[in-house]
Amino acid sequence: PKTDIVFLKVHKSASSTVMNILFRFGETHNLTFAFPLGGGYQLYYPHHFLARFVQGFSPQSPRRFNILCHHMRFLQPEVQKVVPSSAVYFSILRNPVQLMESSFVYYKGASAFSRVRSLAEFLSQPYRYYNPASGDRHYARNLMTFDFGFNPDGEVSPERVQLMLKAIEASFDFLLISEYFDESMVLLKEMLCWDLDSVVSFPLNTRDSSTKSPLPDTVVEKLKAWNKLDWEIYTHFNRTFWERIDRDIGRERMRREVRALRERQAELARTCLQGTGSVAPKDIKDSSLRPLQHGGARILGYNLKQGLDQELERTCRRLVTPELQYSSLLYKKQFAPQPP
């Protein structure tokens, strides 16, 4: 199994669920993580990543970490200073239309969104609300483009788009697609030579459907145009995703693998969870399992069954531990104070 990994955590793209998979794998195999200084949750995002943002990095001692997966704005020459040269690079993308709808609810406090009631209102005159010079502009336009390190307000000429796609292909071994999450997990397992249980997960950091609303077609078209760079990235890598599956796995085997993954997840849900699945934040009984609530979204979580044996309880708890709590736990473990 591959143990040196760079995961570019793209906002609002099921990346918290992927991070949980990496946390569990890293913990099980005693791997080291490139944590933000002081144990924060972001590597000085939205600044471009620098090696010195990582706890325990020093230019003098070329210490390398196994897994880099906290939020960052990608800058490969700096990333290469903190991970082994053999590291596998991957990321996950989401349809920019749904991504922006999610971003609008989650980052309602962002300067571009704070004065509008709806996405339709924002898109009717975006430049009335959107300021390319504001520090949080990226939440409102081409968020994936920004996370990959490019300018979200750059021109959308075919030449520039091609350069951007080529640069991403040169840096990343593969990109997953959040709309095809189970297929993505099978591909991840394949590319990293992991077993099925390593890529099993429960959806984390998802929001209550009461805060979701379908978008009219006119708004969808405006969204695509406004996020044109993201749309180009998404459509290109959605295509290469399926090409890779056809080449490396085949559709028939993919169907079998997805079925096995879903069966295993259903089995774990029956074993671990009270009720049928995720619950509203107010109904989460164990406060240590309550995810961070942000913006106008209601982020769901889970309740574990009582009376599980110790080993099983631990497995189940790890599957539902929200990102911030899990990150803190692993940080304390990795940088435990030395006994005097």
Q: What is the pLDDT of residues 270-284, one digit of tens each?
A: 999 998 789 988 999
Domain assignment of residue 317, yes or no: no
Question: Looking at per-residue confidence, does 39 or 76 come out higher?
Answer: 76
C-alpha torsion 173→176→182→187, nearest 10 = -20
Q: Please report where in the chains the tokens 């209550």 appear, as a residue.
A: 208
CATH number for the domain harbouring residue 191:
3.40.50.300
Nearest to 298 by CA among 178, 210, 201: 210
- The residue-averaged pLDDT of 299-328 equals 95
Range 293-298 average pLDDT = 77
Rounded mean pLDDT of the chain? 94
- Residue 6 has what DSSP assignment? E
User: Does the structure show a pLDDT above 90 at 115?
Assistant: yes
24 vs 215, higher pLDDT:
24
Residue 26 lies in a domain: yes
> Is residue 268 assigned to a domain?
no
Q: What is the per-residue pLDDT for 294? A: 75
**pLDDT per position as a tens digit, 220-268:** 999 999 999 999 999 999 999 999 999 999 999 999 999 999 999 999 9
Q: In whole angstroms, give the CA distance from residue 214 to residue 220.
A: 10
3-state DSSP assignment of residue 269: helix
In a domain? residue 163? yes
Distance CA 5, CA 89 (A): 6
Domains in the chain: how many in total?
Answer: 1
Please report the pLDDT score of residue 213 as a whole number: 76
- Looking from the CA of 101 toward its CB, the CA atoms found within 13 Å total 17
Does the pLDDT at position 211 exceed 70?
A: no
The larger pLDDT score, comparing residue 246 to residue 292, is at 246
Hunting for tokens 């490396």 — which residue is that? 248
Residue 186 lies in a domain: yes
Reported confidence tier of residue 134, pLDDT bands at 50, 70, 90: very high
Token pair listed for 39: 């144990």
DSSP string, 156-181: --HHHHHHHHHHHHHH-SEEEEGGGH
Range of the domain at 62: 5-198+214-249
